[in-house]
Structure 1
Amino acid sequence: MRAVLAALLVLCVIAVPAEASDNGLSIRPAMGWSSWSFIRRWPTEDKIKAQADALVSSGLREKGYVYVNLDDFYQKCDANGFVVDSYGRWAVDSAKFPSGIKVLADHIHDKGLKFGFYVTPGIAKNAVTANTPVEGTSYHAKDIADTSQTHKNYNCKNMYRLNFSHPGAQAFINSWANQMASWGVDYLKIDGVDASTIADVEAWDKALRQTGRPINFALSNNLPIAQATTWKRLANSWRTQGDVECYCGPGPNGSGFPLTDWAHVSSRFNSAAQWQPYAGPGGWNDYDSLQIGNGDQVGLTADQRRSHMTHWAMAASPLLLGTDLTALTSVDLGMLKNDRLIAVNQDGVAAQRIVNSGVNQVWRKRESNGDHIVAFYNTGTSGNSTVSVTWSQVGFSGPAAVTNLWSGASEGTVSSSYSATLRPGETRLIRARPNVQRYEAENATISQGTVDSNHAGFSGTGFVNYTNVTGSYVESTVTAATAGDATLTLRYANGTTVNRPMTITVNGTTLTRDFPGTGAWTTWANSTFTVPLAAGANAVRATATTENGGPNVDYLDVSPP
């Protein structure tokens, strides 16, 4: 794809956890724009096209913002709820979208973008009243509707629940998904989801898969954390809270500017701390739209907007803009196009909170190359505050080279702790690169082995399980700024009583090392050795020398010359 994202994907390949959705989508958080925040209840074909055009002309598409998502209120309603087509599916309001959804999707695709759509659970009252047929079956709406119960819906209301014990219910959802796929839908948001709608989410997951079209599946809103593992299994993202919009603008239903305020943004800090364990490749905690683009009129100061983006990036939330892309300010556009911030969002890691004291917060995450990303916040609305953290709190010891990620400036080598005095609402985001660099085995080149995660205690997202053959190997590309002898530490586990020797080869030097039993596959040990590194890239290969293969390998730590 675009150069910046291609580089990120090369650097940050992470195995999808088994418990995540296995539809192969959203390996990194989605990026794009959604209609709800700015356009609200009044979407039209021309308005959506204008935003898509602006996503391209602004240069945001080149940074990875590719989804253009049409939210609610595209439908046609009457006194009994949603007007439906001949198969009971919502009818699109032709006054708002005279060319139809497919033509709109084609326009968006022609721009090199992806198209998103919207639905809520259930079947419309008008479909049941007319007893419309279920496409491709002998079933009808009255066969599959549970008219004793209704679903949550924010527009036309009047949505009955489906009786999923009847096969026609799944067939109905399949027909709807097939229609969307034929239009060119790439992303589907299903709204009104809660603990009582798990059957609906499962049905939509099945329906989207059977279309054969890759469709990113998003759930909304304010989902209960008690079912977090279910949302993770079925979907690619899930809204952890209610709307980020403040509904405090001067227009109807609180529309217009400001779109949000600091209270609605800062409330996402506690939510992100609670939901952090559930985020990962294939499924992300969604903290709602990113309200950056139109300057101070959105209700946030420049400091608060930078904190807004920093937090979404650290939490690995989808970056779906809610602002008016046709009126982007230069300051906000600079924020949105900051490659370093985008890289933090797209690294596939959700940060943990390690300091939460009054207005002071500190969040950390470690990327696959061993770098630590640390965010400092003053969440208050008045008064400066000094926020501090030690490197041991971050997760390493010794000095580290520090880079300010908002400015890109180097802050030199910092020995053991870091402090920032911040204005109210201000953030500091840094990359700390310890003198010891970590290379996770799961990100290496693997020959005759698998990436597994079934034994506890590993670092990163997994470990390498060598195939039990002579010659199986793991090879990491180690980068050194200067040539010289380097100390390498390989972390391994051997749950057998049999030694599993390996050769360590780098730059013409070959060492043979023993890797005896560690007592259990969950007991990890270190093997340390010294090898010469050249300036630049070095291939470090650990090769099994017996038919038992090598031990399980977690990572390689490198103290450079």
Structure 2
Amino acid sequence: MLLPSLTSLGLLAATASAASLKVVKIGITPDGSTDPIRGWNSWGTQAGKYLNDSDFNQNHVKGICDRLASDLRGNYKLCGLDSGWSVGDHGDKYGRIIYDTDKFDIPSFARYLHRKGLLLGAYVVPGAFLNDLDKTIEGTNTKIREICGGSNGLARCQLTYSHPDTQKWIDSNAKLFASWGVDYIKLDFITPGSNENGVNLPPDESPEVQMWHRAIKKTGRRITLSISWKLDRSKRYFDIWRANADSMRVDQDIQTYSHTPFTSWSNVIRTLQNYHDWINVAVANYNTIGTHPNLDTMYVLNSEDLSGLSYDQRKSVFIHWIGSSAELNLGDDLERPEPRGLALLNDKDALSAARFTAQYPMQPRNPGSGGNLWLAQNAWIAGPSQSGEFITVLANYDNSGSKEVAASFTDLGVSGKYKCFDIFGKKIIKTRSRLQAQLNGGGALCTAVPSYKA
């Protein structure tokens, strides 16, 4: 049940209408999860040096992530360390990735977070260090140079995936991460994808994703694997991503790479357009997708001067990230919460909706036709579930002014008569045939719809 307070409305299973709605689910991801990760990732403020290199250390990040347990009430658990937590040009005596001891003591930090009910995330990129070519892979007699090709441009070599000890090198890293207490790995610069990367990536790093997945499984620890960025969506590669990664990035970075603002509405729109394309591919190819989309960090908590987004736009970001079944990782400065943003993030009905969309990602349904094109004024539906519940989103992406957005239930692909609950307006919307709303530029209406007999 989406919203327990609405149980008195009763349920009547929704049926697909003539508009041919195909309901898709996420299912269980490779690490055995059903829900996408929620939390905070440091790159949201690192990208433009708002969080500068000297402040990216354990003492400072502790204070930031304490806010996950206090202000955000433990609803967002991941404290994700992005680029800069590890030594950048060499590993330990086995060539394994190691933390920068001038900045972090990862095992003690993991224990600290776990005591608070939080999770630790770590960032990695493909390849072994070029400075470690003469080191021996743990448990073997193989030198790292034997599993390496040329440079990938990240101070690392391009791994030779056909060599049997390449898997052993990745195994050794995953085992070390597990011993530290790492709960989440962000594996960046994966191809095919990662376009315009500015380095020298090999064209197909999908075996690296498979090897990290196998290595994580061998540790016996549940570690979520998230891969980046703007990954190839052809069925050949989508099949690999969904079988090995718990989430996959649909677009490039959402940040402006300025000190402030952190993002822009145009970057949000680009991200949502890429999610639109991603879900259309997923609906065409699968009944159960098997992995979550990753829309990058979301900016909801901070005011417009920091985030770059108006309140309506921040609410729209939250609605769309929830609706898409995406990771709900904040990129904000957690130490400067804006009261309305904090209220959005802690909204019980929104979090209840997120539990529903964790399994039912929204898909586009064009007003007037039920098509799946990207439109400036559009409608989306998540579900229906077997018990007849679904989530709807009406959105105005045109930032030039207020627009009416309306979609019939036929457009949405369901039949029946419904009472709709406006999640943020906290009111019942009685309607027999359609949903409509007057929305400001960047605005969105999100409703939960339990079915009822007319």
TM-score (norm 1): 0.68
Cα distance in 1 between the residues matched to 2:180 and 2:405: 50
After superposition, the Cα gap between the structure-2 partners of 1:398 and 1:199, relative to the gap in structure 1 and judged at 3 Å, is: closer
Query: Which digits, 9 at most, give the CA deviation of each residue in 1:154-183, with x for residues without a partner?
Result: xxx221011122222111110011000000
1:184 aligns with 2:181: yes
Please state how far the C-alpha of 1:342 moved relative to its aligned partner: 2.0
The DSSP-based 3-state class of the residue aligned with 1:430 is: strand
After superposition, the Cα gap between the structure-2 partners of 1:143 and 1:380, relative to the gap in structure 1 and judged at 3 Å, is: same
Residue type matched to 2:436 in 1?
A: S
* Equivalent residues in 2 for 1:124-273, closer than 5 Å: 124-128=129-133, 131-146=134-149, 149-151=150-152, 157-195=154-192, 196-226=204-234, 227-247=237-257, 249=258, 256-273=259-276
Question: How many pairs align?
Answer: 402
Please tell me whether the aligned partners of residues 26 and 361 of structure 2 are also in contact (alpha carbons under 8 angstroms). Answer: no
Please tell me whether the aligned partners of residues 25 and 360 of structure 2 are also in contact (alpha carbons under 8 angstroms). Answer: no
Please tell me whether the aligned partners of residues 373 and 431 of structure 1 are also in contact (alpha carbons under 8 angstroms). Answer: yes
Query: Which digits, 9 at most, give the CA deviation of each residue in 1:428-487, with x for residues without a partner?
Result: 111233325xxxxxxxxxxxxxxxxxxxxxxxxxxxxxxxxxxxxxxxxxxxxxxxxxxx
Please tell me whether the aligned partners of residues 28 and 281 of structure 1 are also in contact (alpha carbons under 8 angstroms). Answer: no
Q: Among residues 400, 405, 417, which one is paired with 1:382 in the alignment?
A: 400
Higher strand proportion, which one?
A: 1
Residue type matched to 1:175 in 2?
A: S
After superposition, the Cα gap between the structure-2 partners of 1:165 and 1:357, relative to the gap in structure 1 and judged at 3 Å, is: closer
Please state how far the C-alpha of 1:343 moved relative to its aligned partner: 2.4
Bigger Rg, which one: 1
Residue in 1 that maps onto 2:333: 324
Please tell me whether the aligned partners of residues 317 and 345 of structure 1 are also in contact (alpha carbons under 8 angstroms). Answer: no
1:307 aligns with 2:308: no
Give % identity. Answer: 27
The DSSP-based 3-state class of the residue aligned with 1:93 is: coil
Cα distance in 1 between the residues matched to 2:413 and 2:189: 39
Cα distance in 2 between the residues matched to 1:86 and 1:275: 42
Please state how far the C-alpha of 1:421 moved relative to its aligned partner: 1.3
Please tell me whether the aligned partners of residues 210 and 240 of structure 2 are also in contact (alpha carbons under 8 angstroms). Answer: no
The DSSP-based 3-state class of the residue aligned with 1:95 is: coil
Residue in 1 that maps onto 2:126: 121
Of residues 340-349 and 301-310 in structure 1, the stretch that sits farther from structure 2 once superposed is 340-349
Q: Over aligned residues, Cα RMSD in angstroms?
A: 2.4
1:92 aligns with 2:99: yes
1:394 aligns with 2:412: yes
The DSSP-based 3-state class of the residue aligned with 2:221 is: coil
* Equivalent residues in 2 for 1:525-544, closer than 5 Å: none
1:288 aligns with 2:296: yes
1:39 aligns with 2:21: no
| Structure 1 outlier segments of 4+, above 4 Å | 14-18, 279-282
After superposition, the Cα gap between the structure-2 partners of 1:430 and 1:21, relative to the gap in structure 1 and judged at 3 Å, is: closer
Please tell me whether the aligned partners of residues 24 and 360 of structure 2 are also in contact (alpha carbons under 8 angstroms). Answer: no
After superposition, the Cα gap between the structure-2 partners of 1:16 and 1:174, relative to the gap in structure 1 and judged at 3 Å, is: farther
Please state how far the C-alpha of 1:367 moved relative to its aligned partner: 4.0
Please tell me whether the aligned partners of residues 188 and 227 of structure 2 are also in contact (alpha carbons under 8 angstroms). Answer: yes
Residue type matched to 1:32 in 2?
A: G
Cα distance in 1 between the residues matched to 2:397 and 2:35: 27
TM-score (norm 2): 0.84
Cα distance in 1 between the residues matched to 2:71 and 2:452: 39
Query: Which digits, 9 at most, give the CA deviation of each residue in 1:129-150, with x for residues without a partner?
Result: xx1111111111122111xx33
Higher helix proportion, which one?
A: 2
For structure 2, the residue ranges without an aligned partner over 5 or more in a row are 5-10, 12-22, 193-203, 367-372
After superposition, the Cα gap between the structure-2 partners of 1:30 and 1:367, relative to the gap in structure 1 and judged at 3 Å, is: farther
The DSSP-based 3-state class of the residue aligned with 2:205 is: helix
Cα distance in 2 between the residues matched to 1:54 and 1:383: 35
Please state how far the C-alpha of 1:199 moved relative to its aligned partner: 1.1
